[in-house]
């Protein structure tokens, strides 16, 4: 088995991205087409795709694609967003965010080669700056791992953040720790296991959010951070 640092930039991982990404994208094509139509109508936009620049491998700007979840009239309103919850999103948009369907266009990023199926989630510059201020010592190790490999469509820290609708220092620290664990232990079998568990984790997060109800929306599903995430 390849050493984790070598595996992260190996042909083996790229083959998984191309083969796995093609198969999954083909299987989800009907759902993606339906979601695109719903997104276009729901957000009153002629283009259902939303583009956003994040930080990619080796500090390079990375343009990711998502389905729109926010009505065009309110999309320019600046808010600090965390996880799946965005108060600007419509009811349909909130559902797309909670189920991860808004991320389907990023299979194009994977097949194009600037993202991987599994890895650290590509972050906005403002989020990277926040992590640096939060824990400079942990950030140094985290950013070294972050910058040397392609960001991922899914991964342990993404599934963690997906279960929360508010931001907290504790969650960000846990997310960085999960990223580092993944970077240090990355392997083909681990990637396959994460891919296999992602749909169940997304569904579980959706159930938690529904169980919390509208009055408690924005609160973590429990008092403790989940520990049984694949790393």
Residue 101 lies in a domain: yes
Residue 14 lies in a domain: yes
**What is the rounded distance in angstroms from the CA atom of residue 65 to the CA atom of residue 104?**
8
Q: How many CB atoms are located within 10 Å of the residue 168 CB? A: 12
Residue 82 lies in a domain: yes
Contact predicate 61/77, CB 8 Å: no
Contact predicate 55/122, CB 8 Å: yes
pLDDT(222) > 60:
no
**What is the rounded distance in angstroms from the CA atom of residue 64 to the CA atom of residue 14?**
18
Give Cα 207 distance to the centre of its chain: 18
Residue 62 lies in a domain: yes
pLDDT tens per residue across span 190-205: 999 999 988 877 766 5
Alpha helices in the chain (DSSP H): 4-8, 11-27, 29-42, 91-99, 106-112, 125-134, 136-147, 156-161, 169-185, 188-212
pLDDT tens per residue across span 70-106: 887 666 665 555 555 667 777 888 888 877 888 999 9
Residue 144 lies in a domain: yes
Tally of structural domains, the chain = 1
Segment 139-167 mean pLDDT: 87
Between 20 and 86, where is the model more confident? 20
Segment 144-173 mean pLDDT: 86
Residue 222 lies in a domain: no
Residue 229 lies in a domain: no
pLDDT(224) > 50:
no
Between 162 and 62, where is the model more confident? 62
Domain coverage including residue 124: 4-212
Mean pLDDT score of the chain: 82
Which range (13-22, 39-48, 118-127, 168-177) has the least confidence? 39-48
Contact predicate 75/122, CB 8 Å: no
Tokens of 94: 């909130």
Residue 219 lies in a domain: no
């Amino acid at each position: 088995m390849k050493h984790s640092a070598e595996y992260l930039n190996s042909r083996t991982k790229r083959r998984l991205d191309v083969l796995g990404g093609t198969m999954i994208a083909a299987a989800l094509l009907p759902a993606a087409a339906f979601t695109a139509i719903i997104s276009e109508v729901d957000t009153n936009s002629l283009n259902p795709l939303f583009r956003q620049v994040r930080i990619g491998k080796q500090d390079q700007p990375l343009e990711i694609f998502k389905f729109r979840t926010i009505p065009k009239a309110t999309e320019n309103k600046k808010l600090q967003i965390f996880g799946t919850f965005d108060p600007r999103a419509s009811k349909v948009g909130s559902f797309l965010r909670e189920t991860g369907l808004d991320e389907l266009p990023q299979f194009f990023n994977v097949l194009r080669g600037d993202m991987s199926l599994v890895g650290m989630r590509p972050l906005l510059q403002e989020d990277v700056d926040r992590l640096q201020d939060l824990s400079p010592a942990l950030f140094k190790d985290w950013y070294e791992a972050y910058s040397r490999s392609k960001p991922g469509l899914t991964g342990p820290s993404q599934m963690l953040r997906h279960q929360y609708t508010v931001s907290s220092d504790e969650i960000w620290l846990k997310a960085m720790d999960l990223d580092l664990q993944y970077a240090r232990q990355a392997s083909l079998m681990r990637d396959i296991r994460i891919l296999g568990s992602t749909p169940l984790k997304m569904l579980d997060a959706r159930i938690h959010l529904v169980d919390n109800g509208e009055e408690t929306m924005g609160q973590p599903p429990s008092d403790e951070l989940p520990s049984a995430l694949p790393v």
